[in-house]
Structure 1
Amino acid sequence: MDIRSLTMFQHLSNSLHFGRTAAAYHISPSTLSRSIQRLEQELGSQLLIRDNRSVLLTGEGKKLLAYADQQLAQYETLKQSLNQSQKELSGSLNIYCSVTASYSYLPALLEKFRRTHPNIDINLDTGDAADGIDQVKNQKVDLAIAARPDDIAASMHFQTIATVPLAITAPAISCAVKTALQAESIDWANLPI
């Protein structure tokens, strides 16, 4: 007994017409009849009462129809489940970033990522943000959160997730640093920062 035999039997049980069921499965009525006879031999029971004018289900045929309905529904559910799991990404994602970035940027990004890709395991490694690009280049991680360099390698893809403003903080009291920062031309090399 296979899925095709069950589906043909199910269709025939509902149509009660060999010609219509045979046409639905693109086979001849005699081929359908042989398939039903094989089912009857395999199960050791007469499933249909048939003559030249009508087809009726026997008690055993009704039992097989109930079984076929249940099994074919489960088979369809299984197929849908397998198709869905093949469409979903699975595996692991290795991320490198600074501890600061792991608190500042990752929570919002990972929350959204986990909703859309629940079957991905995320591994986080933290360290100096300056090492992030090398971690990716050396294939130690899949992605890193790092500052964008001036020169971007063709093998790398960068996606901006935030722009961080930088500012100089200077003392409010009079001192050498404040005086140097107020000069027309700042001597950055000798500024005591």
Structure 2
Amino acid sequence: MQLRTLELFCTIAEHRSFSKAASLHQLTQSAVSQAMQHLEESVGAELIDRSKRPLILTPAGKTYLGGLRGILRSYERLEQEVRSTSRQLSGRVSIGTIVSVGLSYMPDASEAFGRLHRDVDVRTQFGSNDRVFEMTAEGEVDFGLVSFPHSNKDIQFVLWQQEPMRLVCSAEHRFATQHEVSLSQLSGVKMISFDRGLQLRQEIDRCLAKAGISVNACMEFDNADSMIRAIQASRGIGIVPEAAVRRETANGSLRVVACRELRMTRPLGIIFRRSGRLSRAASEFGSLLLGRPLEAGKRLKSGSGKLTVEAATIEPETGSSVVA
């Protein structure tokens, strides 16, 4: 079976359309249809349900796609390793990331990596925490950047950093002019919050409850960027990752509210598949983020993976990262 046919099947599965796949691969729709018929004859099973619009994969097709993605990624890594036998790195690095981490850290990291390795194409795919785990496990990306990293049968992780969480408010909020607030002043306050289904929200609530504080979540969002916009628009207040509001605090549209009793961090980690190994380019990018060699195949234990409001916060491991 030709590699191009397998790539064509993946494109059809992604776009659920023969015509779209034909356009992307510069083929006629008839050629695409014939290629899929030959593929199904080769594997001895119907892979695509053509009676539905848009097209859907049969159960056999879904199983085939899951295994095929891993094979194609392995082949791509093999090609990259062969090309990288010379000193100059080349190829492509695909990174899955949650929105807040991608927007806060990837631009600087990609720029720094590009100065070192001009022939490597770095691509970023955004998704929820669960989606990044899924993309990584299925081989859609080389590795993922997530919050609250954990290992499972398919995934292992390296702790990247403990990112500070900050209480921030709009410039018009009553807390904006106060030099410092106490934790007790937050009790009953209307607050812009993360969606209650997110682990970050659950950990924030748990930590506040541990300190005897109950806030009034008046709006909820599933990502930090939307939450920040809402805090600005509603003249509100919320607890967000420090790196996510650097621009807003610099231009004065948001203020960091000092609260010495509020000491929260969220763990960020780099996740990768247990099976296979990272390409040289992916390993180099991960090492740039981490500030030390990315040790594929080894989980580095550091911290509990929980937010904390206690005096002792968990610090990241030592190392010089250009972005962390």
TM-score by length of 2: 0.26
Normalized per residue, the structure richer in helix is: 1
Give the structure with higher Rg (CA): 1
Structure with higher RCO (Cα < 8 A, 6+ apart): 2
TM-score (norm 1): 0.43
The structure that is strand-richer by fraction is 2
